Structure 1
Amino acid sequence: MIEYRAYHKTRPGKRARSGRAVRKKEKARTGERRPLQTRLRLIGWIAAALLSVAFTGVAFASAYSWLTRSPLFTVRTVDMNRCANVSLEEVWAVVRGGGPGTLWSVPAKEVAGRLSRHPWVRSVSVRKSFPDRLVVRVEERKPVAMVNLDALHYLDEEGRPFRRLTAYDPKNLAIVTGFSRQELLRKDPVTVGDLRKTLELLRGVEAGALRQNVSEIHFDAQEGYTVVTRDAGLQLKVGTMDVKEAIRRIEAAMPRISGMARSSGIVDLKTEGRIFVRSGE
């Protein structure tokens, strides 16, 4: 009886050990198969992603090709504000400078850059309005005077010479003298400042007693400003005083000298409260 029990006690232990060994072998085989399946699954995902990217790229390329060639987006209209010296034909010539194309292919910044080189253009903006319209807004320069730089040029509000006058251009503006072409081309700060003060004086006197009656305004670094009237050719000398004070003295003097000054006479206003008049030189 003892031997039988001993025999039966030892048999289950052996069976358990053999069962664990079998499970370990099966687990080892399964473990070998799982990395292979994971790699194959990963390769499949990568291939699917690459195919998706490729198809998307082809789709975008086809769409871009259609957009840039479709007659639906051909530029048919240029919406431009009314300008006195910049024509719609000139704008069309710039737009078509890059050859025929659709609104997608028109470089708005380049068109604006080329238009800004027009002498009358102070600022310009260009934007696209789909499907077939280009919107152009131009701010023109306003000539306020003429300057003699070997030839007459228009001056804008900021004192920039921007266009040489032709025989057909109106010449009814005052002439600014005393500045050389070389000085203005160098854009020396002192010269630019003197020119702007000269234009400030011109605007001031034309807004008051000498409205549309200024023929010339001359600047000299030593002698200062001289304003020449259009009707009688009077030379109003105000020296190098402040521009506002010069305007005030001219405003105060004009009613007093209008009846007594000779044609082409010289009126010295450099001394406060006194007016000296002498015949022209």
Structure 2
Amino acid sequence: MAFGQPKNRRHQDVAQKKEAMKGAVRTHGPGLAKAILLTGLTCALVWGSIELRHWALTSPFFLLKETSFSGLQRAHAGELLKLSGLTVGQNLWSLDVAALERAMDTHPWVRDVKVRRHFPSSVSVEVSEHVPAALAVLSDLYLLDEDAEPFKRLQPGDGLDLVLITGMEREAYLSDESRTRERLREALAVLRAYAATQPGKRDRLSEVRVVPEGMVLVLADGTEVLLGQGETDAKLKRLARVRDELKSRGLAADVIHLENRARPGWVAVKLSSPVSERTGASAQ
């Protein structure tokens, strides 16, 4: 009997341990099973994504076959493709769209560009070009867009007949770009206002000269109009009336003064010399 008691006690300990293990399994088993399942699913997803990525980057299904362009007027598709390095046969998934846009944006005519991938095998390029509004004389001749940005040197093949904006220096533009751009914007505003009030070809504007006192207009016939600052629309209306009056009298002006700030309504005109005086011939 003395030896039987420890043996029974051992059986009891074993039974208690088994029961404790069963309780632990009942309590923690479902959670552990979920954790194992989730781990397995995660490993499967990671492996699957790696295999899927490898397939997408190597499959001929996603090779570039066609690139379409919209918005091109001055820039050419071939030039933009060369700048970007975009070629048929590249994998669409491997394209760096932002890098393609930056490369195409270096073309002087391109103002903004948007590249889009169209799976499985094409790319579209939407281009917004600079619209030249005038020629700015900044040491060299530069094309000026509607936001007063000198975006390109004038080239012989550009074939543009635009109003000149003079009186600004390249050094001033480089040293104080914001101020120079502001003056150029003012000149463009005057140019647009003139075009709205003087549609006639005879009265075509040839030059807008930026001076400390304001703006000077040079018309196609050589007439200089000292516009000064402010009240542009009112001054241009007075200019139209003066030009009509001179025309009705058979006269022409060398200089028309509209810059009298003390008397804004006054117009002073320096008439052109008669033909006999300009050429030295005697009047008939």
Bin the TM-score by the shorter chain.
0.7 to 0.9
In 1, Cα distance between the equivalents of 2:82 and 2:246?
Answer: 55
SS at match of 2:116: strand
* 1:50-65 superposed matches below 5 A: 50-65=39-54
Match of 1:226 among 216, 229, 233: 216
Superposed CA offset, 1:233-276 (max 9, x none): 111111223332332232232212343115xx222223424332
SS at match of 2:93: coil
Computing the radius of gyration from Cα coordinates, the structure with the larger value is: 1
In structure 1, stretches of 5+ residues that fail to align are 1-20
Which residue in the other structure is 1:130 paired with? Answer: 119
Q: Answer yes or no: is 1:216 the counterpart of 2:207.
A: yes
SS at match of 1:75: coil
Which residue in the other structure is 1:140 paired with? Answer: 129
Q: Answer yes or no: is 1:80 the counterpart of 2:63.
A: no
* 1:256-271 superposed matches below 5 A: 256-258=245-247, 259-262=250-253, 265-271=254-260
Superposed CA offset, 1:50-72 (max 9, x none): 34322322221111111112121
Q: Are the equivalent residues in 1 in contact too, given 2:62–2:121 (CA < 8 A)? A: yes
Quote how far apart the aligned CAs of 1:228 are.
0.7
Quote how far apart the aligned CAs of 1:221 are.
1.1
Q: Answer yes or no: is 1:274 the counterpart of 2:267.
A: yes
Match of 1:117 among 88, 96, 106: 106
* 1:23-42 superposed matches below 5 A: 28-34=16-22
In 1, Cα distance between the equivalents of 2:68 and 2:219?
Answer: 44
Larger mean Cα displacement after TM superposition, 176-185 or 33-42: 33-42
TM-aligned CA distance change 1:187 to 1:142, over 3 Å:
farther
Aligned partner of 1:276: which letter? V
In 2, Cα distance between the equivalents of 1:241 and 1:40?
Answer: 86
In 1, Cα distance between the equivalents of 2:96 and 2:223?
Answer: 54
In 1, Cα distance between the equivalents of 2:200 and 2:174?
Answer: 31
In 1, Cα distance between the equivalents of 2:50 and 2:77?
Answer: 35
Q: Are the equivalent residues in 2 in contact too, given 1:154–1:165 (CA < 8 A)? A: yes
In the superposition, the TM-score normalised over structure 1's length comes to: 0.78
Which residue in the other structure is 1:251 paired with? Answer: 240
Larger mean Cα displacement after TM superposition, 239-248 or 81-90: 239-248
TM-aligned CA distance change 1:95 to 1:65, over 3 Å:
farther
CA RMSD of aligned residues (A): 3.1
Quote how far apart the aligned CAs of 1:79 are.
1.8
SS at match of 1:168: helix
SS at match of 2:172: helix
Q: Answer yes or no: is 1:207 the counterpart of 2:196.
A: yes
In the superposition, the TM-score normalised over structure 2's length comes to: 0.78
Q: Are the equivalent residues in 2 in contact too, given 1:73–1:131 (CA < 8 A)? A: yes
Which residue in the other structure is 1:159 paired with? Answer: 148
Identity over the aligned pairs, expressed in percent?
A: 22
Superposed CA offset, 1:39-59 (max 9, x none): 898777655543432232222
Quote how far apart the aligned CAs of 1:171 are.
4.1
Q: Are the equivalent residues in 1 in contact too, given 2:135–2:163 (CA < 8 A)? A: yes
In 1, Cα distance between the equivalents of 2:168 and 2:136?
Answer: 8
In 1, Cα distance between the equivalents of 2:47 and 2:17?
Answer: 44
Aligned partner of 1:83: which letter? L
Which residue in the other structure is 1:181 paired with? Answer: 170
In 2, Cα distance between the equivalents of 1:178 and 1:64?
Answer: 59
Which residue in the other structure is 1:6 paired with? Answer: none
Match of 1:103 among 74, 92, 108: 92
Which residue in the other structure is 2:277 paired with? Answer: none
